[in-house]
Amino acid sequence: MSNTFRISLIATAVLISTSAMSALPQGYPADYQNVVDAATKEGKLVVYSTTDTKSADPLIKGFEATYPGIKVEYNDMNSTELYNRFISEQASGSSSGDVVWSSSMDTALKLAADYAQEYTSPEQSQLPKWSVWNNKAYGTTYEPVVFIYNKRLIPANEVPDSHAALAKLVASQTDKFKSKVTTYDVEKSGVGFMLSVQDSKADPNYFKTLAEVAKGGLAVQSSTGTMMERVSSGENLIGYNILGSYSEARAKTDPSLGISYPKDYTLVLSRVSFISQQAQNSNAAKLWLDYVLSEKGQSILANQADIPSIRNDIEGDNDINGMTQMLGQALKPIPVDESLLEYLQPKKRLEYIKLWREAAAK
């Protein structure tokens, strides 16, 4: 190796180290630089996520700019695929995700219970207590669950503002809404199943309400994108249990898509993230989790990716404070705790799906 080449390599390493050093957030422990240095040596991070790549891209770019020695390999998949793939890889001992980041809170917590390493993030004090489970699983977002509707085909005076109003609207015009109401397929979508269970906990009349909403026949889907597309085109007229973050992002450029926040109760989803016990790049995984939870990362989520922040100190109104000002007591955050696991027991899950199918006439 020539002296010139050796000097060039040393200079590059110093630049990377200096850049990482300057990026060290204020208030972090003194030995955090050791994590940064070790992560830079790893040089890579593998993320398994349900957050679509387009939404995650500003966050990935921000992270790679903050830690230029680390390249993010981002794998975007639906919640059921993520769950099955991660379990299979853990069982076989093959390479897998260093970090899991999923909107299917219950299956994510199940994975965390079985496979997460314990890690106390320096950002933990900035998060709601309900969003952290055993220093292993972290809620990272604060996303109201909404109704969407076609603004060209649903008159403003008919837009439902509660679950009961949605049921009444559909039941009173079954011909108009025949196969025109869309929601998640609870058997194929992990997040859809989880939200339905949370509905049943929030509303003692849930299955009666579901039967009314389904009177015209439901068009079930496994992805938010498909539901938004169909409502926007008029193929469907209304969608419910839709992630508000994706809906708000689309509505900015889609004049046909309307959004209604139910005033009786509004479920709030928080994408759950954890670091794998078997992470090959565990230091990079710690940096990523801390970055996602940090003021900088949360600001990117809120103001560039249109995903509401779980913090209350983010510029703008797309955070807990902003959502609380808009919806107040209607907000029902889904806690990151063991209650999420109840309906993942096979017998209970099958019984629940049977009740859902009977009410939805599916």
pLDDT exceeds 60 at position 18: no
Q: How confident is the model at residue 1 (pLDDT cuts 50, 70, 90)?
A: low
- pLDDT digits 0-9 by tens, 138-174: 999 999 999 999 999 999 999 999 999 999 999 999 9
Number of domains in the chain: 2
Do 46 and 70 belong to one domain?
Answer: yes
pLDDT exceeds 70 at position 89: yes
pLDDT exceeds 60 at position 263: yes
pTM greater than the 0.85 cutoff: yes
330 lies in some domain: no
Please state, as a whole number, how many other Cβ atoms lie within 10 Å of the Cβ of residue 295: 15
Q: How confident is the model at residue 78 (pLDDT cuts 50, 70, 90)?
A: confident
Mean pLDDT value across residues 5-29: 55
Task: Note down the domain range covering 14.
Answer: 3-140+271-318
Residues in CB range of 50: below 8 A, 6 or more apart: 76, 77, 78, 79, 82, 101, 102, 103, 104, 191, 271
| Backbone φ, ψ for residue 155 (5° rounding) | -60, 150
Q: Which of 7-16, 59-68, 196-205, 294-303 has the lowest mean pLDDT?
A: 7-16
* CATH number of the domain to which 45 belongs: 3.40.190.10
Q: What pLDDT score was predicted for residue 27? A: 82
Do 170 and 65 belong to one domain?
Answer: no
Do 127 and 261 belong to one domain?
Answer: no
325 lies in some domain: no
Do 111 and 166 belong to one domain?
Answer: no
Do 31 and 176 belong to one domain?
Answer: no
329 lies in some domain: no
Do 72 and 150 belong to one domain?
Answer: no
Do 156 and 296 belong to one domain?
Answer: no
Do 118 and 162 belong to one domain?
Answer: no
Do 72 and 215 belong to one domain?
Answer: no
324 lies in some domain: no
Kindly state the helix (H) or strand (E) to which residue 9 belongs, with its residue range.
helix 3-22
Q: What pLDDT score was predicted for residue 242? A: 96
Mean pLDDT value across residues 313-340: 95
